[in-house]
């Protein structure tokens, strides 16, 4: 009975994490799958708040699985490319 309850609780928790990420459109299904076990292991107290789970995972980056760490590293690299591309650099003749 206890084992069934634990399995059921785990499934419900997994559904909540997946739903929270999906609801806020955080990453692809593959990216969410890569980080779901880390979210349970490291950030369960923040579930189902996807924003807080994501912040927790970022803070615990050294503890993440390789797959989940790769998700955050890829996202950071993509964000830096967008940031650099969006700035207008002033030339010597440009007024401020």
User: Three-state secondary structure along the chain?
Assistant: CHHHHHHHHHHHHHHHHHHHHHHCCCCCHHHHHHHHHHHHHHHHHHCCCHHHHHHHHHHCHHHCCHHHHHHHHHHHHHHHHHHHHHCCCCCCCCCC
Contact call for residues 49 and 20 (beta carbons, < 8 A): yes
Task: Choose between 16 and 40: higher pLDDT.
Answer: 40
- pLDDT(7) > 50: no
Domain assignments of the chain as residue spans, ordered by start:
13-82
pLDDT tens across 23-69, in order?
456 789 999 999 999 999 999 999 999 999 999 999 999 999 999 99
């Amino acid at each position: 009975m206890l084992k069934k309850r634990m399995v059921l609780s785990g499934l419900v928790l997994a559904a909540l994490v997946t739903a929270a990420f999906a609801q806020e459109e955080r990453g692809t299904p593959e990216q969410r799958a890569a980080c779901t076990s880390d979210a349970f292991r490291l950030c369960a107290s923040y579930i189902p708040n996807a924003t807080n789970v994501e912040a927790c995972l970022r803070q615990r980056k050294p503890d993440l699985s390789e797959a989940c760490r790769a998700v955050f590293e890829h996202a950071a690299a993509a964000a830096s490319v967008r940031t650099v591309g969006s700035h207008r650099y002033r030339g010597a003749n440009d007024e401020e």
